[in-house]
Structure 1
């Protein structure tokens, strides 16, 4: 049972007091791993993933049976500045495509055997233009966090959170620039494929936003509220809910990782239950992963969003757990140990 998310301070407290891994399950998984019919570390990172996963699930011999993919959608007032190659109406159209089963994420979620849910968050009411004011009021920010907080299925055993929102690479760039410093151009990429002129506008928008809000940003949640978006906040809420439900999370691309960064810059160890699903083609994503100290499972040049790269990485996680929990031990197989 999740605690009630009654205020932003409650969310900060819950984030700071989030549960840790089960030490006994880790020890049991490590012991089992040493007895499996393979040379030590022959499966390399798959072994590490299985032990990490076991620690969060509290089971030394876990399984992945009920993964969940959640897509959050939101619109951004900053798109009026000309930062995207597509109009905001595309967000609504793509949500309809998700609900009809026609998007890439639908296919990848189905392939992974994952339940998929879509949450469109006030698409008719974009966030405020964050070059002029905070993107969300306290009440709007809390509402978005709650949507993510309550969207996680307690019966899920692995979670992917994805997004849809025209203009949200601009928000993600602003979050990263605010949290990690440097010049705006380092964090600002082409997103959906903007031309050189639009990229220049986008970079200036990020720079203006950070200059305006920087003095008021004390932690990652401040950045998420001031220069983020409803779908990014919902992703963050879902990630923290997953932690309380002991559900490991596979992070998607740049936008998802920007939402995760807001948690990491608010509480130490906030992303210990998360693994990076892939490294996207968005220019700043590798740098962001380095800041988060997350090594991606895949690197395929993807830049779609929607949770697509993370959903594909569910297969890697399933492979790690299948080998760990399904392989025979030397004793069971009657194989002599070396």
Structure 2
């Protein structure tokens, strides 16, 4: 007779033999083959240390560096930023200071070339790209939009209901590098107004033009409302961005309207900003039009690029977005 101890040992040996014959599924890890392989970085375009090499990418073999450089020179800085994410070669090529120098001189052309070079050396270590990212500037590739809402009482019927309505209107501003800007107040959505914000339609679509100045992050703008009693519209803004180089927000610091004499201005195209320079906020030159400092409708401006006007959330109706937080 076999003992219980012997039966127990035999059962354990049988289970161990089954483990030796079992086949386990091993997960393949192909990325482990990449360890220890050194990838040689691509030298920047035009570098003296660049050695001739064969690029495996088809677009780089068929597109010469000179032609690639010419294509990049015709792009906007924001398009260059997207192109830099394509590959390493494009990233180093786009860091060429020629692209960023042209963009900076165009963005701050009111300061003059000599002043821009002085600011470049003193504040940005001679880097045009760093200057583009860190120096406040007004964007010209879209619209600055301020969405304002207020509650208005409706008509009371039979003293049973007391309806109220949420009224929504927008302030639109488009800036140009030459120091001019367009302003429009409308209840139309962004996608409908974007196609009208130009000087060709400014006189027939209740749009007004004026002048602005930019000093660091402060913007001062003024325009003239023509009519029987000409009125000067003055606004002060502070430029900021949600990320470095975005410049996609403007805080409205003050908004003042005041009167002006007929003999002081000759038309809406006059440099009205130079005329009101040094005026106090409560100063008016026409007693029939008192100076008024407005404290409503001062919602911050949000920048909407032209390629995003159709999909912007600012196009949503009031019943879907009663209030908008610019951030």
Higher relative strand content: 2
Does 1 or 2 have the higher relative contact order (CA < 8 Å, sep 6+)? 1
Q: TM-score band (shorter)? A: under 0.3
TM-score (norm 2): 0.21
Query: Of Structure 1 and Structure 2, which has the larger fraction of its residues in helix?
Result: 1
